[in-house]
Amino acid sequence: MLKLMFALFIASVACQAGAFPLSWVQASPKEAFLEPGGSSAFCHTHKPSSLLREAPPVSQNPLYGQLPNGLLFRLDESRGTGRGYDRLCIDANGNGDLSDDSSFKPLKAAAGVDQIAGGSRIFAAPNLSARQSTPGLKPEFYYQAVLYSRSYTPGLRNKADRIAGILWVKAAQRLAGEIVIDGKKLKVEFIDGNCDGKISRRLNYGDLNEVRVDRWDAKPVDYMILSPEAAGKSGRRASGMLILPFNELVSLNGLAYQIHLRAAGDALEILPWAGPTGELRLPGDSQVKALAILRKSPDGGWDWIVANNIRDRVQLPAGDYRWLLCTLESRDAKGRVTRADGRNHELKRAMAILPGKATPLACGLPLRAEIKAVASETYDSRLYTRDQAKFYGQLKKTVWLTAEFRGQGGELYAQVYEGANRRALAALKEPVCELNTATGKRLVSGRMTLGRDGLYHAQWELPRRAIGVRAVVKVDKNFGSLLSGHKSPLSATYDIQL
């Protein structure tokens, strides 16, 4: 007990030791385009009515657009029409006049930029006035101009307004520093994900129906990146790196912390959560490593919270929650890591965290497999009028199969990875499926493919005489160590009515 109290005291002292200094650092184009977040705007062939004045363009077909912050921009061809868009002008002061703004040339090619940007041109330019940004931040951003067609013709200008491309925006600077949590140094970085010149935008949903569990950066927001490698430039490649949506609540190692960025952007304060808290308790053998949950905010919306490095319990402030997805993790005898993401599609299910109470949450292992099949006859209708004997002889039965893997809480597992960089294993995405007769004779066998609906699909044709067919889906030994706790292979059967 004394050891536990001493450990808690040390952690508290580490967090209360004061503010951790931060500074703005420049990111290369390659680093910026690998960051989460970013903003974009369409490039139009028609000049917007809000553009009051501009210097005469060189190209006969300049492109115009409006950034998400409301500022206008123009892409021009300095070498003449059809020679390539190589000048970007942004109405940085927001007065609707491009004639008093500077034009920017594309950056010279750098290592890795062409691979990131697909060979398109990248510009470095401001899109905000200095008074609108966080103090200490130069409002500089990288712009990637991606056009739909390089053979842009003058005739297109005489038609209705067209969308000719997209201008992608990425922050060129980030806040960086070091923090200490539980006696461990961590590298921390804050990314201006929505490119508004500030670190303040949290991931908040006003309606649960707009939450997209397949893409948690669906809204441009700011991010916090934590890496165990406090020194060096390769922190993003480090094992254990955490990418979290910016929020005042951060869950680390199962404990709740409150973070606060000073208005000047020069320091970060991180303290144990001071308000009433409760616990979210998971089954001890669930192998859940991380949780993504929604927390009801005072404004009535829902904040996205990610709890990482958890064991069997998570400390959370008291309030209303919904859970989105959980990540399972395990290691085999050789230290190879296998991860699987399970998504909860029942977001309406409430989950209340009460002060001093533990709320159980069922998710994770053991997994169960489910398979369904539908069969129908297929034929060539043209043969019916020409050769009915051949028509009936060619009748076949097509079987459509779907399979899914679910955890304790009904969450759907459709993505499994190996290693720290989440390299997907083909064997994990494609379970084996067999169609057998009632006597056990195999008719067909093959891999299933993963669909966008999170289910695995397969389609086979069977002879018309086939009856009593049983479908069997199973995951082979390449599934990794996640199933090491299963007493039997992960499989399911389904009797098809033909």
List, for residues 4-32, the tens digit of each pLDDT value.
333 333 344 334 445 899 988 888 888 88
Name the one residue in this structure whose structure tokens are 């680093």: 31
152 C-beta neighbours (distance < 10 Å), count: 23
Chain position carrying tokens 């650092």 = 25
B/e letters for 25-45, b = 16+ CB within 10 Å, e = fewer, are eebbbbbbbebbbbbbbebbb
Section 442-460 average pLDDT? 80
Residues 456 and 475: their CA atoms lie apart, in Å, by 12
CA distance 65 to 51: 10
* 47-56, 110-119, 362-371, 435-444: least confidently modelled range: 110-119
Question: Rounded mean pLDDT of 81-85?
Answer: 84
What is the pLDDT confidence band of residue 236, given thresholds at 50, 70 and 90? very low
> Structure tokens of 454?
């999170």
Decide if pLDDT at 53 tops 90: yes
pLDDT of residue 52: 93
**8 A C-beta contact, residue 417 and residue 338:** yes
Task: Cite the beta strand spans of 384-465 per DSSP E.
Answer: 396-406, 412-418, 423-424, 432-436, 442-447, 449-450, 456-463
CA 254/CA 290 separation, integer angstroms: 9
pLDDT exceeds cutoff 60 at 441: yes
Q: Where residue 354 falls among pLDDT bands split at 50, 70, 90?
A: very high
Contact 59, 77 (CB under 8 A): yes
What's the DSSP call for residue 245? E
More confident residue, 384 or 105: 105
Q: What tokens were used for 443?
A: 């008719």
Give residue 34's Cα distance to chain centre.
Answer: 13
Confidence band, pLDDT 50/70/90 cuts, at residue 338: confident
Cα atoms in the 13 Å half-sphere on the side-chain side of 128: 23
Are 380 and 391 in contact, with CB atoms under 8 Å apart? yes
Of the given ranges (267-276, 368-377, 389-398), which has the lowest mean pLDDT?
389-398
Q: Please give the angle made by the CA atoms of 15, 279 and 364, to the nearest 5 degrees.
A: 110
Of 96, 32, 35, the C-alpha closest to 64 is 96
63-77, 98-112, 437-451, range with the lowest pLDDT: 98-112
What is residue 231's predicted lDDT score, i.e. its pLDDT? 43
Question: Dihedrals φ, ψ of 377, to 5°?
Answer: -85, 140
Q: What's the confidence (pLDDT) of residue 215?
A: 55
Helix, coil or strand: residue 129: coil
Tell me the pLDDT of the chain averaged across its residues: 76
Residue with the bigger pLDDT between 207 and 377: it is: 207
> What is the reported pLDDT for 239?
55
Give the pLDDT mean for 350-373. 88
Longest dimension (CA), the chain: 91
Of 276-285, 393-402, 478-487, least confident by mean pLDDT is 478-487
The kind and range of the H/E element at 14 are helix 2-15
Q: With 70 as the cut, is the pLDDT of residue 132 above it? A: no
H or E stretch at 385:
helix 382-386
**CA quadruple 94, 98, 103, 109: dihedral, nearest 10:** 60
**Strand ranges, E, within 309-395:** 313-317, 319-331, 337-343, 351-353, 358-360, 368-378
d(CA 372, CA 375): 10
Decide which of 2.60.40, 1.10.3470, 3.90.79, 1.10.10 is the CATH code for 368-408+415-496: 2.60.40
The mean-pLDDT minimum among 63-67, 172-176, 415-419 falls in: 415-419
**Where are the domain boundaries for CATH 2.60.40 in the chain?**
368-408+415-496
Contact criterion met (CB below 8 Å) for 369 and 483: no
pLDDT reported for residue 311: 79
Could you give phi then psi for residue 451, rounded to 5 degrees? -95, 170
Among the listed ranges 21-35, 70-84, 225-239, which one has the minimum average pLDDT value? 225-239
State the CB neighbour count (10 A cutoff) for residue 159: 9
- Measured from the Cβ of residue 444, the count of other Cβ atoms closer than 10 Å reads 14
DSSP letter at 241? Answer: -
Residue 220 has pLDDT above 80, yes or no: no
* Cβ within 8 Å of residue 104, ≥6 positions away: 87, 88, 89, 90, 123, 124, 125
- Give the global pTM: 0.75
The answer to which of 114-128, 262-276, 391-405, 409-423 has the lowest mean pLDDT is 114-128
Confidence of residue 315 (pLDDT cuts 50, 70, 90): very high
Mean pLDDT throughout 417-441?
A: 68
Cα 325 from Cα 344, distance rounded (Å): 6
Q: Which of 6-15, 82-91, 389-398 has the highest mean pLDDT?
A: 82-91
Name the β-bridge partners of 294. 304, 322
Whole-number pLDDT of residue 433 = 83
Question: What's the Rg (C-alpha) of the chain?
Answer: 28
Residue 134's nearest CA partner among 68, 65, 222 is 222
Alpha-carbon distance 498 to 482, whole Å? 36
